[in-house]
Structure formats: structure tokens, C-alpha cells
């Protein structure tokens, strides 16, 4: 009986330690489905999937801190998932819905957004910054870009190019934003 209890306790402890990572994987899954939705031309569903990914992204960190299960693995996993959900997926959404009309300039702008997001995440992973972010977090940039899609009938197309360039610059700039 003691062996069984030890096995159960160990299993519960392991599961508990992975709850935040499971939420992070949900973020990744939703980002992956968002990319597939863009490829299928289902842009409204893409917006919903990226929005849901943002919810899971905010939950994973809160859960990890509240359960005291933060880990270096979790931090790295979160960044890898964020580049998909808030870098690639929003960039493809805006490319498909608006800036593909700009040809190579639109393509380069999308690649710049993804690259700046990757730089932002890499810098976050190697920098200690208690209480603040350096540069605009990719989650915020990706959510702003995703939300802008809702206005693509009203916003002139060149404004999307400007928005992407601005968000790209803000992600790699060195200003500080207080963590909430």
C-alpha cells in the first residue's frame, strides 16, 4: 500500500509540474491551427484561434508562478510556442488578407516581423529583467496585428505596412514596459 501511495504521489507531483507546459502546448496548438486556417482562407477562424492562444499564453505563466513550478524548460518552450502563435500566425494572416498586394515588399515586411519577434524572444530568454519587459512583447505585437485584421476594410492598405514595420521596431527596441 505504501508503494502504491508513493507511486500516486509521484505521478500527481509530475503532472502538477507539467500543468503550465500543457497550457503552453495548447498555445502552440492553437497557433498551428491558426496557420492552417490561414492556408485554408478561413481568416475569421484564424483571428479566433490566435486570440485563444493569447489566453493560454497568459495562463501558463500565471499558473507556473502560482504553483511555484517555473522552470528554464518552461521559459524556452513558451518562447518557441510564442513565435508560432504571435509571430508566424499573425504575420501570415495579415499577409494573406492585405499586404500580399505589395509583392516582394509585403513578403519582406512579414519576414521582418517574424525575425524581430524571434530576436525579441531570444533577448528575453537571455536577459534578466525583474518587473519589466524590454521592448514590446511578441504576444502584444501579434495580438495588435491580429486585431488590425478586423479593420482591413477601413484601414488603407499602406497603413498595414506601416503597422507591421512599427511593431517590428517596437519589439526590438530597448524601452521598458512594466510587467502586469
Pick from 25, 52, 148, 61: which is nearest to 97 by CA?
148
State pLDDT tens for residues 84-102. Answer: 999 999 999 999 999 999 9
Please give the residue range of the domain that contains residue 113. 2-178
Helix, strand, or coil (residue 112): helix
User: For residue 12, what pLDDT is reported?
Assistant: 56
Q: Which residues pair with 178 in a beta bridge?
A: 132
CB 155 within 8 A of CB 147: no
What total of structural domains would you count in the chain?
1
Residue range 52-82, pLDDT digits in tens: 999 999 998 888 888 888 888 888 999 999 9
CATH code of the domain in which 35 resides: 1.20.120.1760
> Which ranges of the chain would DSSP assign to H, the alpha helix?
2-39, 43-66, 72-82, 89-97, 104-126, 138-148, 157-172
Amino acid at each position: 500500500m505504501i508503494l502504491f501511495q508513493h507511486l500516486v504521489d509521484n505521478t500527481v507531483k509530475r503532472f502538477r509540474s507539467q500543468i503550465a507546459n500543457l497550457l503552453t502546448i495548447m498555445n502552440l496548438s492553437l497557433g498551428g491551427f491558426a496557420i492552417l486556417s490561414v492556408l485554408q482562407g478561413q481568416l475569421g477562424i484564424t483571428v479566433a484561434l490566435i486570440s485563444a492562444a493569447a489566453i493560454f499564453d497568459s495562463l501558463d505563466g500565471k499558473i507556473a508562478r502560482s504553483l511555484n513550478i517555473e522552470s528554464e524548460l518552461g521559459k524556452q518552450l513558451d518562447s518557441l510556442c510564442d513565435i508560432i502563435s504571435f509571430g508566424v500566425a499573425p504575420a501570415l494572416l495579415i499577409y494573406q488578407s492585405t499586404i500580399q498586394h505589395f509583392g516582394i515588399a509585403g513578403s519582406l515586411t512579414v519576414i521582418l516581423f517574424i525575425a524581430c519577434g524571434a530576436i525579441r524572444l531570444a533577448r528575453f530568454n537571455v536577459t534578466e529583467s525583474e518587473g519589466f519587459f524590454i521592448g514590446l512583447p511578441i504576444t502584444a505585437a501579434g495580438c495588435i496585428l491580429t486585431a488590425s485584421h478586423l479593420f482591413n476594410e477601413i484601414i488603407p492598405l499602406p497603413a498595414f505596412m506601416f503597422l507591421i514595420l512599427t511593431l517590428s521596431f517596437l519589439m526590438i527596441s530597448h524601452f521598458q514596459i512594466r510587467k502586469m
